[in-house]
Amino acid sequence: MNYPFWDIPILGSGWVIGIIAIFHVMISQFAVGGGLYLPLAERKAMRMPAGPLRDAWLTQLAVYSKFFLILTAVFGTVSGVGIWFAIGLTHPEATSTLIHNFVFGWAMEWVFFIVELTTIAVYYSTWGKIDPKLHLKVGWVYAGASAFTLIIINGILTFMLTPGDTWLAVAGTGQEASKFWYAFFNPTYWPSLFMRTCVCCALAGIWALITASRIDGDKQPELKTSLVKWSVKWLVPSFVATPFILIWYLWMVPASQRALLTLGIGTIGSGTFSVVTRIALLIIITSATIVGVAYFLAYRNPRDFNLSHAIAILLLALIATGAGEYSREMLRKPYVIGGWMFSNGVRVPYVARINQEGYLAHSNWVWNGPILNERLVTPGMTTLNDPTFSYSRGEAIFRGECGSCHTLNGYRPLGKLLAGRDQANIRSFITMLHDYKPDSPYRRFMPPMVGTKQDIDDLANFLNTQVNPLAPAAQKPMQTAQK
Amino acid sequence: MTSKTVASSVYDWVDERLGLSELAAFARHKTVPVHSQSFWYYWGGISLFLFIVQCFTGVLLLVYYQPGADAYESVRQITFVMNFGWLIRSAHAWAASLMIFSILVHMFSVYFMKAYRKPRELGWLSGMALLGVASVFGFSGYLLPMDELSYFATKVGLQIPSAIPGIGEAIANMLRGGPDVSDFTVHRFFALHVVVLPAIFVPLLGFHLWLVQRYGNAAPPSEEAKPASERKTMPFLPNFLRKDLAMWLIALNILALLASVFPWSLGKPFDPLAPAPVGIHPEWYFMSPFEMLKLLGVVLQGEAGEIAGILLFTLGIVLWILIPFYDRGKEFGQRARAAHYFGLLAVFALLATTIIGYWTIR
């Protein structure tokens, strides 16, 4: 517990990352897919016989590239930085591990970002001003640079699910960076790259439908029909290939993680454990629907295709993207970095040490010293058995060990999940999480509770005060995070 | 013989006996008006789709559900033991809510487009009857799991029929199979839910759809006022049907989203001796009538007041149902305006009482 904790009530800090990330993925994957769409569409237009349709296509592509520039270069960039802020605050330990391993990965990515941002600005501003062949080349440079941003970030994202045995063998030795390429080209790298590429193409088509839907079908029927139909075709690779790639991807995920997916087939459980199954179902149904809706509304009725139809498809894509990213995150449980770091930031090999020394032993964020307020001191009292300090320590442990996944009264609320239990019962539940026996059902998706017996008591005391506010042991917080 | 000729000879054989070409010719000529309000035309279709979903999921639930003393246990098994049982049950329950919602949207869009006018009066009346039957479907289905919430909500809900002066208590007793909600009630509601109501609903729905085919979609008065040359239409087959199917797919996704993210859970088994849990309230679509009766009871005190309240409430519904016979003219005259304001009042009352109802849950 080396870092202070970012406490987001109700929503939980994980969802702050989630909301920014889903928004970012919708745009950044469009930036990659659109990078391919623009030069291919321009090439297609340039090969058309000279005439009004060819001119209309090029004019429309110039309009599209403005939309593309603003959306990707402004919102994509801002939300990307937003993810950095959010993960740094929510998972400081995990972010630290990523930076220590992949600092050169990100350096490479940023080089491509700069090329990407520069070329898209040049591409947009030079329509009709430079030789068309050169303009097309600028488009291809953009496509290449944006593809490389995906190629790099994909290595880092997949590393978190499956770091691979080679990297795990050196993890914690200080030699991690020497296995950079093993960590980068980890077991799920290739299926994930293919899957994301398919999604990028689909998103390029979907976003292109937004601008195409605004063409007046009565005034420019030929342009609208050809552009809408061509854009819908961008959904096809994703529709055909994704099921197979998904199977490949899941094949590469450790069996213990894969088992999480089947938890919800037979039961909704208490609603939380099986959520990954339920959300994963949405990916399948929504992805299939997008193609169906795009076929009926756009491909077969291109002239009547309007903005609200396009937005309906976009919203379906948002559901599919959200469901996909959520499932991928959930599949990592109980780890944030597979096999190495639990989802609450505790490194796997540190568990025994923390169990011996106590969770707060090295923490700067909770009071461990003598009782400063003399009025509180009663004969025989030490810092450890003072109920007010126990509460404060319990709160700090809650923030550190539970807070990255749970809130008290909002998302995955411990107040509700522990309702009906008294202090002894809460304590025995925490003890079960602490003992982490091989047959414990919670092992599948929850990290162990680490710490000493005193830590268990402190956490139980704090949680009991929250769950049973009228319980006699209830103590109000006095000194949290002071030094 | 190629597969094409096989298909065409099969078609000819069926066509000769059923007259499919006539139907196809009729369908080819059918058009749907295109204007700024066309969006509302999809809601009837969405309601139909959600009904089909409920037939399908309902039959699957029927395979495992046991009315009577084992009702709760069988629903518990469906929800927590059977593979994807929770999904079927959640889809069934969510589709019910969504269907009532889309019927209400459909009803108000028909109302404000004045699509109940001659010759579509029977379409309006049959639609109102369908809404009535659908809400009884909802009410009877809600009890079937026999958990704490459904038990007490049914108890509260039966206060509506029992408030009818004179015969109310008798009707409520007949529905309950006694003075209290019990296993007998489950049997009765089950019979109602899976036999009686479908037997009424399906032919009524057929009649309603036949009327829609016969008279087509009504254009709103603002469109009718335009000269024929300015009005746009699209063929029903295939253009409108394709869009309809796309809407069905979107509705399916919303249903899947709700059923997956918010699966219908199951409370504790009911205990008639236990006190009602906190926050018992009827389903959202009964909240408004429930709250209206409650408010009228506050305004009009005493037994006479209660009867007056019921009469006032009934009068409002009767006026609503009989609107086609009041607002008949083609022009947007005084009566049409009065009907329009009555509609706005109804929307306001429905929303306001629902909000008050949820606001004041004990």
Q: What is the CATH number of the domain that holds A369?
A: 1.10.760
Same-domain status, B242 and B299: no
Number of compact structural domains in chain B: 2
| B80 domain-assigned | yes
Q: Which of A274-278, A433-437, B70-74 has the lowest mean pLDDT?
A: A274-278
Please name the residues between 26 and 85 in chain A that touch chain B, using a CB distance below 8 Å. Answer: none
| B142 min Cα distance to partner chain A (Å) | 19
Q: Do A310 and A367 have their domain in common?
A: no
How much is the average pLDDT of A2-17? 84
In chain B, the residue whose alpha carbon lies closest to the alpha carbon of A266 is B83
Q: Could you tell me if residue A401 is inside a domain?
A: yes
Top-ranked range on mean pLDDT: pick from A329-333, B207-211, B274-278: B207-211
So what's the pLDDT on residue B295? 86
Is residue A107 included in any domain, yes or no?
Answer: yes
Residue range A318-372, pLDDT digits in tens: 999 899 988 888 888 899 999 999 998 899 999 999 999 998 887 776 665 555 5
pLDDT value, residue A439: 87
- Contact list in A for residue B252 (CB cut-off 8 A) is 285, 289
Tell me, yes or no, whether B325 and B247 share the same domain: no
Same domain, A33 and A111: yes
In a domain, A169, yes or no: yes
Q: Determine which of B261, B264, B266, B278 to mutate to test the interface with A (most A C-beta atoms within 10 Å).
A: B261
Question: For position B203, what pLDDT does the model report?
Answer: 97
**Do A50 and A155 sit in the same domain of this protein?**
yes
In eight-state DSSP terms, residue A479 is: -
Domain-located, residue B115: yes
**Between A and B, how many residue pairs show a Cβ–Cβ distance under 8 A?**
74
Q: How confident is the model at residue A252 (pLDDT cuts 50, 70, 90)?
A: very high
pLDDT tens digits along B146-197:
999 899 888 888 877 887 778 888 999 998 988 888 899 999 999 999 999 9
Burial of A404 (0-12, 13-18, 19+ CB in 10 A): buried
Which pLDDT tens digit goes with each residue over A375-432? 655 666 555 556 667 778 888 899 889 988 899 988 888 988 898 899 999 999 999 9
A235 and A356 in a common domain: no
CA distance B156 to chain A (A): 26
| Residue showing tokens 């599209």 | A64
A-chain CB neighbours of B84 within 8 Å are 265
Q: Indicate whether B197 and B301 sit together in one domain.
A: no
Q: Are residues A283 and A387 in the same domain?
A: no
Residue A410's domain spans which residues?
350-467
Query: In this structure, what token pair is assigned to residue A42?
Result: 């321009």
- Same domain membership, residue B183 and residue B101: yes
* Residue B263 to residue A271, Cβ atoms within 8 A: yes
Asked, for residue B194, whether it belongs to a domain, the answer is yes
DSSP B78: H
* Residue B142 pLDDT class (50, 70, 90 cuts): very high
Domain limit, last residue, from A291, A319, A342: A342
Smallest CA–CA separation between A293 and chain B, in Å? 5
pLDDT band of A445, cuts 50, 70, 90: confident
- Which 3 state secondary structure label does DSSP give A151? helix
* Domain boundary, last residue among A306, A324, A342: A342
* A249 and A184 in a common domain: yes
Does the residue B6 lie in any domain? no
**Inter-chain touch A293–B82, beta carbons under 8 Å:** no
A273 and A406 belong to one structural domain: no
Residues B198, B124, single domain; the answer is: yes
Asked whether residue A246 is assigned to any structural domain, the reply reads yes
Do B260 and A293 count as a contact with CB atoms less than 8 A apart? no
Residues 6+ apart with CB under 8 A from B259: B87, B90, B91, B94
Q: What is the mean pLDDT of chain A?
A: 88
| Residue B91 belongs to some domain of the structure | yes
- Does residue B106 share a domain with residue B40? yes
Asked whether residue B354 is assigned to any structural domain, the reply reads yes
Residue B361's pLDDT is 78
Under the banding of pLDDT at 50, 70 and 90, the label for residue A480 is very low
Quick one: closest CA in B to A264, which residue? B84
User: Which residue segment(s) compose the domain that B137 sits in?
Assistant: 29-218+232-267
In a domain, B225, yes or no: no
- Do B289 and B260 belong to one domain? no
Q: What's the CA gap between B7 and A55, in Å, rounded? A: 45
pLDDT value at position B89?
A: 95
At which of A342, A371, A391 does a domain end?
A342
Residues B258 and B307 in one domain: no
> What is the DSSP secondary structure assignment for residue A427, as one 8-state letter?
H
Distance CA B308, CA B315 (A): 10
Q: A46: Cβ–Cβ under 8 A, 6 or more apart, which residues?
A: A54, A58, A132, A136
Q: Are residues B213 and B312 in the same domain?
A: no
Same domain, B287 and B159: no
Rounded distance between C-alpha atoms, residue A222 and residue A52, angstroms: 10
> Do residues A17 and A66 share a domain?
yes
CA dist A412 and A269 (Å) reads 14
Q: Does B301 touch chain A (CB under 8 A)?
A: no
Q: What is the pTM of this model?
A: 0.84
Domain boundary among B267, B292, B326: B267
Are B262 and B293 found together in one domain?
no
Average pLDDT score, chain B: 89
- Which CATH number belongs to the domain containing residue B236 in this structure? 1.20.810.10
Do B206 and B302 share a domain, yes or no?
Answer: no
Query: How much is the pLDDT for B2?
Result: 76
User: Does A239 share its domain with A366?
Assistant: no
**Are residues A75 and A55 located together in one domain of the fold?**
yes
Classify residue B63: in a domain, yes or no: yes
- On whether residue A475 sits in a domain, the answer given is no
The total number of structural domains in chain A stands at: 2
Other CB atoms within 10 A of residue A13 CB: 23
Same domain, A394 and A246: no
pLDDT the model gives residue A378? 60
Whether residues A425 and A284 fall in one domain: no
Q: Do B324 and B263 touch, CB atoms closer than 8 A?
A: no
